[in-house]
């Protein structure tokens, strides 16, 4: 596990783990009340949600996971880092903690993982907060991400040169991150071995039927209709070059009833417009109390 003493003042949470086979799976568990489960994407970790954890743990039990290979979870080198396995891990954690009446919060590839869990457990989901993310098939990724998917080049770029997690600290926001916040994002991915999941997440983006995770993603997409009557809010950074407005528009086709908020923010919307996101979430929760 990485030493987090340097960022303890901005990430002051108790470390919690469950054993998944031979590996430890880390999660934050703060506060009491109806659970809010926060699911991160790539190349972040539960650190991304720190300000939401601080705010909503005052009124709720907040669970923020670190996917296997990410954050403070173990980083096995021989693990099968696929969408299906990330969903299984999240499902096992929710079952272990016996969570019910869940408010689900997703961002980036956490959209597919979180909604993958949700479509298999719809009765557990009471509200959904969707930040810049996707959970459906798309046939295009930005050129800079496509470059990292090239088999012989991707490993060198993402793992060797840190050309994914590193640039993410300045290419995903409009506001400049502080040195400490940058350190927080990069701390779990500080060497070649520790960046394995970052590389595998990129590799696991399915762009066609031949990809291992394509059918799993289609199954999630086909299950999105289950939440047509579930309270949903879409809070979107409109200056996101990756999960851009086309992703938002597709979410709206699935959830025309959703409350939509468009913000002048980048992909890391919680860094650029965290207070606004918190305000919108509080209003959304007030209008849609859990019964």
- What pLDDT, on a 0 to 100 scale, did the predictor assign at position 220? 96
Task: Compute the average pLDDT of residues 236-258.
Answer: 96
If one compares 75 and 139, the residue with the highest pLDDT of the two is 75
- For β-strands 61-65 and 23-30, DSSP reports them as antiparallel
Using the Cα atoms of residue 32, residue 269, residue 86 and residue 221 in order, give the sign of their dihedral.
positive
- What pLDDT, on a 0 to 100 scale, did the predictor assign at position 203? 83
Predicted confidence (pLDDT) per residue in 193-209, tens digit: 999 999 998 887 776 77
- What pLDDT, on a 0 to 100 scale, did the predictor assign at position 142? 62
- Please determine, for residue 270, whether its predicted confidence score (pLDDT) is greater than 90: yes
How far separated are the first and last CA of the chain, in Å rounded? 39
Percent of the chain with pLDDT over 70: 94
Q: Where are the alpha helices (DSSP H) in 142-287?
A: 143-149, 151-154, 165-171, 179-186, 196-203, 214-223, 245-254, 269-272, 274-287
Unique residue bearing structure tokens 């109390």: 289
3-state secondary structure of 135: coil
If one compares 139 and 191, the residue with the highest pLDDT of the two is 191
Q: Share the mean pLDDT of the chain.
A: 93
- What pLDDT, on a 0 to 100 scale, did the predictor assign at position 138? 74
- What pLDDT, on a 0 to 100 scale, did the predictor assign at position 253? 96
- Please determine, for residue 2, whether its predicted confidence score (pLDDT) is greater than 90: no
Residue 276 phi, psi (nearest 5) = -65, -40
Q: Between helices 110-120 and 214-223, what is the axis angle to 10°?
A: 60
- Please determine, for residue 278, whether its predicted confidence score (pLDDT) is greater than 70: yes
Q: Where are the alpha helices (DSSP H) in 7-137?
A: 50-56, 83-97, 110-120
3-state secondary structure of 26: strand
DSSP 67: -
Backbone φ/ψ region at 18: left (φ over 0), alpha (ψ -120 to 50), beta: beta
Task: Compute the average pLDDT of residues 122-141.
Answer: 90
Residue 3's pLDDT band (cuts 50, 70, 90): confident
- Please determine, for residue 137, whether its predicted confidence score (pLDDT) is greater than 80: yes
- What pLDDT, on a 0 to 100 scale, did the predictor assign at position 53? 98
Predicted confidence (pLDDT) per residue in 138-185, tens digit: 766 665 665 556 676 778 888 998 988 999 999 999 999 999 999 999
- What pLDDT, on a 0 to 100 scale, did the predictor assign at position 140? 65
Task: Compute the average pLDDT of residues 66-74.
Answer: 98
Q: Are 157 and 164 in contact (CB under 8 A)?
A: yes
CA nearest neighbour of 67 among 98, 97, 24: 24
Maximum Cα interatomic distance, the chain, rounded to a whole number of Å: 52
CA nearest neighbour of 41 among 149, 137, 172, 133: 133
Residue 71 phi, psi (nearest 5) = 55, -130
Which of these CATH numbers, 3.40.350.10, 3.40.50.620, 3.40.50.1820, 3.30.70.2860, describes 5-287? 3.40.50.1820
* Length of the chain counted residue by residue: 291
**Residue 193 to residue 209: CA distance in whole angstroms:** 30
């Amino acid at each position: 596990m990485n030493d987090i003493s340097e960022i303890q003042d901005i990430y002051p949470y108790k470390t919690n783990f469950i054993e998944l086979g031979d590996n430890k799976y880390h999660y934050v568990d703060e506060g009491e009340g109806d659970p809010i489960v926060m699911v991160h994407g790539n190349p972040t970790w539960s650190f991304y949600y720190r300000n939401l954890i601080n705010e909503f743990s005052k009124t709720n039990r907040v669970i923020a996971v670190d996917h296997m290979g990410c954050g403070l979870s173990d980083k096995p080198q021989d693990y099968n880092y696929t969408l299906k396995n990330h969903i299984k891990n999240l499902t096992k954690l929710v079952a272990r903690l016996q969570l019910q009446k869940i408010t689900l919060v997703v961002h980036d590839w956490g959209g597919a993982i979180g909604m993958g869990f949700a479509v298999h457990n719809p009765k557990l989901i009471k509200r959904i907060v969707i930040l810049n993310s996707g959970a459906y098939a798309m046939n295009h990724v930005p050129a800079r991400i496509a470059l990292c998917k090239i088999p012989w080049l991707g490993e060198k770029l993402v793992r060797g040169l840190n050309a994914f997690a590193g640039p993410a600290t300045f290419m995903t926001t409009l506001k400049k991150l502080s040195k400490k916040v940058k350190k927080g994002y990069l701390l779990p991915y500080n060497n070649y071995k520790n960046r394995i999941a970052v590389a595998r997440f990129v590799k696991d983006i399915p762009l066609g039927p031949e990809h291992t995770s394509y059918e799993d993603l289609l199954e999630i997409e086909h299950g999105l209709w289950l939440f047509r009557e579930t309270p949903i809010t879409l809070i979107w950074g409109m200056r996101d070059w990756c999960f851009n407005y086309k992703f938002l528009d597709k979410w709206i086709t699935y959830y025309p009833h959703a409350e939509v908020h468009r913000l002048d923010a980048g992909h890391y919307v919680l860094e650029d417009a965290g207070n606004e996101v918190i305000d919108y979430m509080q209003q959304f929760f007030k209008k849609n109390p859990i019964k």
